[in-house]
């Protein structure tokens, strides 16, 4: 099972030019608003026409502009799940789901309808109309309808973004369950970093219509290929960098030298670290040679910001912060840890572990 995509389309503000192959594990497509994510799905589904390119699904050519092949959307056997459900408001749940089963005999249609409702935990909603359902229930029905045609590929466009936190977790669990059974090409478009990581096995990072990164999600998060990809995958701390030796860089914006574990084939223009990788040394620790004490620096708290479970600390290195509110680093810690050291006299000692530092070309 595979979906091979190589398409180009000129858009008002940039050109969409994308090439990738998706297999039997879900592919998360991550990128900012306006990056071309939804247009990419619409081109694959046949709802938009690329200017040129080729799309092949399980050996069946859906699009080949050079060979003048353009299979209509209704014949592509691709299931679609939209952000806002797109259910027929004047049809019941059963009628919505059965829309893709209209060519089957009545007894087989009823059997498949029951199986789809069971699979998506929508049994009991058959006679209701979409307006009588919660957002999470509507999205489960929409998923059942997308699966009703037994699609060879499944495309999901921001399927959780219109839901509140509680419903989002319910539908996300439903999608994970579905993906575990549906071993066919699945593309999930999102701008939510954590959602892309939880639901996708592979990750495609899209920026201004181009593929900025593509591969295993863990590898992209551990070793982003560029500053742009690091930013799009949630890294908040960067400094311009100058190499001193193979494993020592000068962090120009942070005013310190850093020992790093990573090496690059070409010089790094920036060094970065993710906020949750920043650690704090015990007050008695001091910078010294040795792996446990590398990259320890005095820091002061400039300000903080809370969420229900974590706190973000804005830290100034080397000296107390001025009145301008300047800071060098954002660190994210769980509140339990924060409670243990929040009253410790400043300066604290921040540790930037060598194996947590990212070396990034331009």
What does the pLDDT look like over 245-303, one tens digit per residue? 889 999 999 999 999 998 776 778 999 999 999 999 987 544 444 444 689 999 999 99
pLDDT for 294 equals 83
CA distance 17 to 148: 31
136 vs 213, more confident: 213
What does the pLDDT read at residue 244?
92
- In the prediction, which pLDDT does 319 show? 94
* pLDDT reported for residue 168: 84
Q: Within a domain: residue 353? A: yes
165 and 255 co-located in one domain? no
Task: Write down the mean pLDDT value for the chain.
Answer: 91
- Residue of 291 and 130 predicted with greater confidence: 130
CB atoms under 10 Å from CB of 165, counted, come to: 6
Strand-strand pairing, 248-251 and 256-259? antiparallel
In a domain, 98, yes or no: yes
Domain assignment present for 125: yes
User: Do residue 20 and residue 158 come from a single domain?
Assistant: yes
pLDDT at 324 over 80: no
What CATH code is carried by the domain that includes residue 218? 3.40.50.300
Same-domain check for residues 213 and 332: no
Paired residues of 187 in beta bridges: 27, 155
In the chain, the number of structural domains is: 2
Residues 104 and 170 in one domain: yes
Which of 225, 258, 289 finishes a domain?
225
Q: Is residue 230 part of a domain?
A: no
Q: What are the backbone angles phi and psi of residue 135, rounded to the nearest 5°?
A: -60, -40
Q: What percent of the chain has pLDDT over 70?
A: 96
For position 267, what pLDDT does the model report?
Answer: 79
pLDDT, one tens digit per residue, over 82-94 is: 877 788 999 999 9
Q: Would you say 248 and 211 are in contact if contact means Cβ atoms under 8 Å apart?
A: no
> Does 192 reside within a domain?
yes
- What's the pLDDT score for residue 265? 64
Within a domain: residue 301?
A: yes
**What's the pLDDT tens digit per position in 326-362?**
999 999 999 999 998 899 999 999 999 999 999 998 7
Same-domain check for residues 165 and 49: yes
| Tokens representing residue 303 in the block | 């300000």
Q: Where does a domain end: 178, 205, 225?
A: 225
Residue carrying the six token digits 């590898």: 219
Q: Are residues 245 and 213 part of one domain? A: no
H/E element, 49: none
Output the pLDDT for position 293. Answer: 62
The reply to whether 356 falls in a domain is yes
Which 3 state secondary structure label does DSSP give 229? helix
- Residue 315 resides in a domain: yes
d(C-alpha 329, C-alpha 142), whole Å: 43
Q: Are residues 162 and 29 in the same domain?
A: yes
pTM for the full predicted model: 0.87
Over the stretch 191-215, which tens digit does the pLDDT of each residue have? Answer: 889 999 999 999 999 999 999 999 9
Residue 224 and residue 233 in contact, taking contact as beta carbons nearer than 8 Å: yes
240 and 207 in one domain?
A: no
Residue percentage of the chain with pLDDT more than 90: 69
Which pLDDT score is estimated for 288? 46
Domain region containing 182: 3-225
End of a domain among 225, 255, 287? 225
């Amino acid at each position: 099972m595979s979906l091979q995509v190589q398409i180009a389309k000129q858009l008002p503000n940039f050109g969409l030019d994308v090439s990738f192959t998706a297999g039997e594990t879900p592919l998360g497509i991550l990128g900012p608003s306006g990056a071309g994510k939804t247009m990419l799905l619409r081109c694959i589904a046949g709802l938009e026409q690329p200017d040129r390119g080729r799309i092949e699904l399980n050996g069946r050519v859906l699009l080949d502009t050079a060979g003048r092949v353009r299979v209509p959307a209704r014949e592509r056997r691709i299931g679609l799940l939209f952000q806002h459900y797109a259910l027929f408001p004047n049809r019941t749940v059963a009628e919505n789901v059965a829309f893709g089963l209209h060519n089957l005999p009545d007894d087989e249609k009823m059997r498949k309808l029951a199986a789809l409702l069971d699979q998506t935990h929508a049994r009991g909603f058959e006679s209701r109309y979409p307006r009588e359902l919660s957002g999470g229930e509507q999205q489960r029905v929409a998923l059942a309808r997308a699966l009703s045609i037994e699609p060879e590929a499944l495309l999901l466009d921001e399927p959780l973004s219109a839901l509140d936190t509680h419903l989002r977790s319910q539908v996300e669990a439903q999608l994970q369950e579905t993906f575990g059974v549906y071993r066919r090409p699945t593309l999930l478009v999102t701008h939510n970093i954590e959602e892309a990581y939880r639901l996708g096995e592979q990750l495609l990072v899209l920026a201004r219509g181009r593929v900025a990164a593509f591969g295993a999600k863990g590898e992209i998060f551990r070793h982003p290929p560029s500053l742009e990809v690091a930013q799009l995958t949630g890294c908040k701390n960067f400094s311009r960098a100058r190499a001193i030796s193979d494993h020592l860089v000068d962090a120009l914006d942070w005013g310190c030298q850093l020992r790093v574990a990573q090496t690059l084939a070409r010089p790094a223009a920036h060094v970065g670290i993710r906020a949750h990788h920043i650690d704090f040394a015990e007050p008695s620790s001091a910078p010294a040679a040795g792996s446990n004490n590398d990259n320890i620096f005095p820091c002061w708290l400039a300000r903080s910001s809370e969420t229900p479970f974590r706190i973000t600390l804005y830290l100034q290195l080397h000296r107390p912060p001025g009145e301008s509110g300047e800071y060098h680093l954002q660190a994210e810690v769980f509140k339990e840890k924060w409670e243990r050291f929040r009253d410790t006299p400043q300066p604290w000692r921040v540790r930037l572990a060598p194996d947590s530092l990212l070396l990034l070309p331009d």
